[in-house]
Structure 1
């Protein structure tokens, strides 16, 4: 278990490189809401976009999740709890005005980075900039 890191995993690093290559800048492993103990893998605070890269085993991917052969009951409960926390996180962030983007680790990195870039573009065009004059 000590080898399982909470951040800077290979899929996270690959996604960060691909998003950065598209010219986007972001914060890494930051809380969108300081009072809520949840960290997003990529955070775009001005756009209020939180990106989570979820592992297939840890978050119960419908396509790739496998049932553990040892200590199955413990792991089933652990994954169920993680999924409940993910749902709770999505709701809490949405209630606070954030957009949540969840990406599975099995998704192609280039496609995932395109998803992030498209969401950023959409949010940039949807929200008026603070330095723009008010519409009359």
Structure 2
């Protein structure tokens, strides 16, 4: 039985082991974004660990980085981003707040290094992935004109 004091059937160690196996670098929204950008002719690096926040897509030609954020984990202002687990809410509230703080810190650090930061939200890819990536391309093209 759980040692977390809630209804989780796993122990803290078992839950930690399970969560450590989740791959956050190759999620479906990230793969879709990269695929659509590549098909449109954009060339990029992915998951660049020597930049703050390890951006999902780095476009050096445009001096731009792109993060593909899951609405739930990064607290987007959509239905999924506003949902909160019903158990252990203090823990989850702190966790989500720290995620948002870290996102802002990484964005500030990247901008200080001269990078433009773009965010693609999971819900926009779910609604219309082609439109979401076309909006990115419009922003990238505008960046080249500056």
TM-score, L = length of structure 1: 0.82
2:105 matches 1:88: yes
Q: Secondary structure at the match of 2:26?
A: coil
In structure 1, the partner of 2:56 is 41
From 97, 114, 120, the equivalent of 1:103 is 120
In structure 1, the partner of 2:69 is 54
CA distance in 2, matches of 1:73, 1:10: 29
Greater RCO, 1 or 2 (C-alpha within 8 Å, sep 6+) = 1
Question: Radius of gyration: which is bigger?
Answer: 2
Matched positions, count: 123
Change (3 A) 1:53 1:73: same
Q: Deviations over 1:1-43 (max 9, x none)?
A: 2453221101111111111111111111114xx3x54210110
Higher relative helix content: 2
TM-score, L = length of structure 2: 0.77
Unaligned runs of at least 5 residues, structure 2 = 1-18
Unaligned runs of at least 5 residues, structure 1 = 127-136
In structure 2, the partner of 1:69 is 86
Structure 1 residue runs of 4 or more that deviate by more than 4 Å after TM superposition: none
User: Which deviates more, 69-78 or 51-60?
Assistant: 69-78
CA distance in 2, matches of 1:69, 1:4: 22
Shift of 1:116: 2.0
